[in-house]
């Protein structure tokens, strides 16, 4: 059990978002439900997630706030507490966004909608909309696994690649980086901090989960092409501040410790972003090659 958990923890940090095959009883990693200090990361971006599942509050002075990722069904009270600890109001969430339609990032969306009295407009990238609206049932990989389903929610606005989401002075751009899911979304925005402007990238997920078929995938024939295109997109994005759907992508815990130590803001990490994208692309290409060779032998 311990070995299994440790293995899971380390692979999670590396690849993020690995679940179904590891523990069908209680999918996910224990740190997904572990509290983590809510904090201002940079500019108007606040971390309001758990230790293992990132959730971001992007605030505006007068127009309300944007929440990225509702996480697990059970995560919402913790996200709410985190928002309130920071002095903001959960009811001021005007827009709800996600990294991608997997239960560790979107299962809490029904609860967020309910608690904001339907005040939060739920915007989801094309490709992930039917998954969200079917509570995970139409997911190409996990739709048949009852342990991974969650409350279905109606999407209020369908996003397309390159769409902008505006609230007050804040403008987020939705980049479709599909493969991990059909509507996997990488968010970008500019923030100002101490008089300087920075490009922020919130990576949706470039990871190939265990069991994903990249070759001859009848339920998602274009999966490998989507991943390849997604890497081109990630490589093209200017990035000063590197964030993602799981803190493990960008070493959130270590960076948070440094943030508290003063000095330069550790979330500003353009090299970390480049290295991460290169590493994940290599992992994708290696897996693709392996699956192509296995398919040839059949
Ligand atoms: Zn995922």
State in Å: Cα 62 to ligand 1 middle: 33
State in Å: Cα 111 to ligand 1 middle: 20
State in Å: Cα 205 to ligand 1 middle: 7
Least confident of 10-14, 177-181, 230-234, 255-259: 10-14
State in Å: Cα 101 to ligand 1 middle: 7
* Neighbour tally for 59: CB within 10 Å: 21
State in Å: Cα 151 to ligand 1 middle: 17
State in Å: Cα 73 to ligand 1 middle: 15
Q: Is the pTM of this model over 0.75?
A: yes
State in Å: Cα 248 to ligand 1 middle: 13
State in Å: Cα 102 to ligand 1 middle: 5
The model's confidence at residue 15, banded by pLDDT at 50, 70 and 90, is very low
**Mean pLDDT over all residues of the chain?**
92
**Structure confidence at residue 9 (pLDDT):** 35
State in Å: Cα 63 to ligand 1 middle: 30
> Is 118's pLDDT higher than 90?
no
Convert the pLDDT of each residue in 173-196 to its tens digit. Answer: 999 999 999 999 999 999 999 999
Convert the pLDDT of each residue in 35-69 to its tens digit. Answer: 999 999 999 999 999 999 999 999 999 999 999 99
State in Å: Cα 72 to ligand 1 middle: 12
State in Å: Cα 185 to ligand 1 middle: 11
State in Å: Cα 210 to ligand 1 middle: 11
State in Å: Cα 38 to ligand 1 middle: 23
State in Å: Cα 255 to ligand 1 middle: 23
Interval 119-136 mean pLDDT: 97
Interval 100-116 mean pLDDT: 97
State in Å: Cα 99 to ligand 1 middle: 8
State in Å: Cα 197 to ligand 1 middle: 30
3-state secondary structure the chain: CHHHHHHHHHHHHHHCCCCCCCCCCCCCCHHHCCCCCCEEEECCEEECCCCCCCCEEEECCCCCEEEECCCCHHHHHHHHHHHHHCCCCHHHEEEEECCCCCHHHHCCHHHHHHHCCCCCEEEEECCCHHHHHCCCCCCCCCCCCHHHCCCCCCCCEEECCCCEEEECCEEEEEEECCCCCCCCEEEEEEEEECCEEEEEEEECCCCCCCCCCCCCCCCCCCHHHHHHHHHHHHHHCCCCEEEECCHHHCCHHHHHHHHHCCCCCCCECHHHHHHHHHHHHHHHHHHHHHHHHHHHHC
């Amino acid at each position: 059990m311990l070995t299994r958990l440790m293995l899971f923890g380390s692979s999670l940090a590396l690849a993020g978002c690995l679940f179904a095959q590891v523990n069908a009883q209680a999918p996910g990693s224990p740190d997904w439900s572990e509290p983590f200090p809510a904090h201002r990361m940079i500019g108007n971006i606040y971390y309001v997630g758990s230790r293992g599942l990132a959730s971001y509050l992007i605030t505006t002075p007068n127009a309300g706030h944007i929440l990225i990722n509702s996480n697990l069904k059970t995560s919402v009270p913790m996200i709410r507490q985190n928002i309130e600890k920071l002095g903001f109001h959960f009811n001021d969430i005007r827009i709800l966004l996600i990294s991608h339609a997997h239960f560790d990032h979107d299962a809490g969306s029904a609860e967020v909608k309910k608690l904001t009295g339907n005040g939060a407009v739920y915007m989801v990238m094309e490709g992930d909309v039917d998954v969200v609206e079917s509570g995970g049932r139409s997911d190409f990989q996990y739709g048949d696994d009852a342990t991974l389903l969650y409350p279905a929610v109606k999407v209020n606005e369908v996003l397309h690649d390159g769409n902008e989401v505006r609230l007050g002075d804040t403008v987020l751009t939705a980049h479709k980086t599909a493969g991990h899911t059909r509507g996997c979304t990488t968010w970008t925005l500019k923030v100002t901090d101490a008089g300087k402007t920075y490009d922020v990238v919130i990576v949706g997920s470039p990871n190939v989960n265990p069991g994903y078929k990249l070759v001859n995938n009848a339920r998602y024939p274009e999966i490998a092409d989507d991943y390849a295109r997604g890497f081109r997109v990630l490589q093209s994005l200017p990035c000063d501040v590197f964030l993602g759907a799981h803190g493990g992508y960008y070493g959130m815990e270590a960076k948070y410790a440094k943030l508290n130590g003063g000095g330069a803001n550790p979330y500003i990490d353009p090299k970390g972003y480049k290295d991460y994208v290169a590493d994940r692309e290599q992992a994708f290409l290696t897996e693709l090659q392996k699956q192509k060779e296995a398919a040839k032998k059949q």
